[in-house]
Amino acid sequence: MSRRKDRMTFETGGRVYPMRPPFEGADHAVVEGWTCPTCGGNKVAGAGRTIEGPHPSDTYRADGGCASCRKVVGVLRVKVAGTLFGLEEDERVASMGVRIY
C-alpha cells in the first residue's frame, strides 16, 4: 500500500484531507491540515481494509482512527497508481505468485 504514486486521503467530518506516510511501509500516516479533537495528534492508522467501488476499482478503503488515542473514526482511502486490471484482479494475480512488470 505504499507505492510512491499512491494517493492517500482521510475523510472526517465531511472534509477530505491529504495524507502522507512518514516513511516507507509505515502503519500510520500524517494527515495534513487536521488535528485530532481529542488529543491533538495528526496521525491516523487504518483498519479493516477493503476494496471500494464497482469493479474494476483502484481504491482501498479502511476505517481510520487516531494513531495516538484511537478515538477518531473517519474513512481512509488509498488510490493506487498503476493498477493493471483493478485491485481484485491484481490481488488474485499476486496470490498466484505471478509478478507482472
Which residues lie near Zn ion (CB under 5 A)? 36, 38-39, 41, 66, 68-69
Cα Rg of the chain (Å, integer): 14
Contacts of 84 by beta carbon, 8 Å cutoff, 6+ apart: 90, 100
> Cell 500516516 sits at which residue?
29
Of 46, 83, 40, the residue nearest 65 (C-alpha): 46
Pick between residue 8 and residue 36 the one whose CB is nearest to Zn ion. 36
Pick between residue 31 and residue 87 the one whose CB is nearest to Zn ion. 31
CB of 22 to Zn ion, least distance (A): 16
CB of 92 to Zn ion, least distance (A): 37
CB of 16 to Zn ion, least distance (A): 19
